[in-house]
Amino acid sequence: MSRVFHLPAGSTRSGARRAAASPSGPGPAAAPGPGPRRGGIVAGYLAPHPPHLVYAENPPQNEPRSTGGWEVLRWGYEELRRRLRAHRPDVLVVHAPHWITMVGHHVNCVPNPRGVSVEPIFPHLFRYHYDFRTDVELAEAVVEEGERAGLVTSALREEGVRVDYATIGALHLANPDWDLPVVSLSANNNPYYYSDASLGEMETLGAATRRAIERTGRRAVLLASNSLSHMHWDTEPDLPEDMAAEHPFSHEQYAGDMELLQIVREGPTSRLKDAIPRHIGATASETKAGSLTWLLAAMGWPEVAGDVLAYGTVIATGNAVVEWVAP
């Protein structure tokens, strides 16, 4: 087993900036009540996308059939769906690591992406018929704000580009009814050459996303489509959902995930600025693609704790469903 990514995370932050941990620190922010709706980012979710979770659910959009599996993670997603609905968002904004763009940060501005996404790595699990609406005004605003912030950006307007499984997976698992408009952002990193996202740029992109949401008056929920520890098997059992084969890749990978999630549960999110790069270094975490940093930066690194709704492994990778509610 070899590691796919070898470069250190792109953040240049010093480890000395770690905020002091406090067991009596902030708890998760309260879920919204039935009061008047305000705009802005109301919540963010770490929403991992393993295609196995979609496959296990047997939705009508996906061609392969399963006998189940990975139930605890899927139960976490059921709770996410309930909470997401309570937030009453106008739009879901997702950053996903498998729309890989070598040059810059791309935003899908196609009004109605639709097609069949056959996943090249897991075609036996994921052949998903997708058909969703883009919030084009917000998507274009993200492009503009990104450019204004000095990022290389691009507005995708070509209808033929296949939507990747990390985008579809997170969106389906969070909202299987697909009844909310979407804004989809690419990951500017390059696995062919082992480069990670620049976490510094992801902070900038997050801030630009927030400005775009505020400028357009949207009430938005963000999805960071990342797994955690990312070492995994390079083969799979004959029955993909054979849970007897499912466990962490190693104790070190599991412990690394638990250390990160403990900080998530204790809060505040500012402690994660240092914890995320450390976790990437220890576990090859998929957060190296930058989605989680983007999400928390967009939320302004709120002074709250996250609520871990579920944790489980998928082909040995660590996956957590986490909610952060904007204070």
Partner 1 sequence: MNALPAALVPAMPHLLAGDPTSSWAELATATRTVGDRLRAAGVETVLLLSTHWFTVLGHQVQCDDRLRGRRTDENWYRYDYGHLAYDVTVDTELAHRWADAIDADGMQARRTRYDGFPVDTGTVVASQLLDPRGQGRWAMVSCNLYADPSAMAAVAAAGMRAAGQLGRRLGVVAVTGLSSGLTGRWIDPGEDRVEDTHDRWNRKMLDAIRAGDREAVLAMSPQYAAAAQADSQFRAFAFLDGAGAVDRPGEVLAYGPVWGTGAAVVWWGEPTESRET
Query: Residue from 27, 58, 68, 116 that binds partner 1 (CB under 8 A)?
Result: 116
Total residue length of the chain: 327
Query: Residue from 21, 72, 121, 239 that binds partner 1 (CB under 8 A)?
Result: 121
Q: Which is nearer to partner 1, 154 or 270 (CB)?
A: 154
Query: Residue from 45, 55, 77, 122 that binds partner 1 (CB under 8 A)?
Result: 122
Minimum distance, C-beta of residue 271 to partner 1, in the bound complex (Å): 30
Rule CB under 8 A: say whether 161 interacts with partner 1: yes
Rule CB under 8 A: say whether 239 interacts with partner 1: no
Mapping DSSP to helix (H, G, I), strand (E, B) and coil, where does residue 310 land? strand
Residue type at position 163: V
Query: Residue from 26, 32, 176, 191 that binds partner 1 (CB under 8 A)?
Result: 191
Contact 3, 284 (CB under 8 A): yes
Query: Residue from 83, 106, 211, 279 that binds partner 1 (CB under 8 A)?
Result: 106
Q: CA-CA distance, 261 to 267, in Å (whole number)?
A: 10
Q: Hunting for tokens 């109301």 — which residue is that?
A: 42
Helix (H) or strand (E) holding 276: helix 272-283
Contact 217, 39 (CB under 8 A): yes
Q: CA-CA distance, 171 to 134, in Å (whole number)?
A: 12
- Taking CA atoms, 96 is separated from 2, 47, 168, in Å, by 23, 10, 9
Query: Residue from 154, 176, 258, 266 that binds partner 1 (CB under 8 A)?
Result: 154
Query: Residue from 25, 104, 176, 200 that binds partner 1 (CB under 8 A)?
Result: 104
Minimum distance, C-beta of residue 4 to partner 1, in the bound complex (Å): 5
Rule CB under 8 A: say whether 217 interacts with partner 1: no
Segment interacting with partner 1 (CB under 8 A) among 123-131, 168-176, 207-215, 251-259: 123-131
Rule CB under 8 A: say whether 188 interacts with partner 1: yes
Give CA 159 to chain center in angstroms: 23
Rule CB under 8 A: say whether 26 interacts with partner 1: no
Instruction: Report H helices in 60-198.
Output: 71-87, 136-148, 165-174
Q: Total binding residues for partner 1 by CB under 8 A?
A: 42
243 burial via Cβ count (<10 Å: 0-12, 13-18, 19+): middle
Residue 131 CB partners (closer than 8 Å, separation 6+): 112, 113, 114, 178
Minimum distance, C-beta of residue 121 to partner 1, in the bound complex (Å): 5
Question: Which residues contact partner 1 (rule: CB under 8 A)?
Answer: 1-2, 4, 6-7, 99-104, 106, 116, 118, 120-124, 127, 152, 154, 156, 158, 160-162, 164, 186, 188, 190-195, 232-236, 315
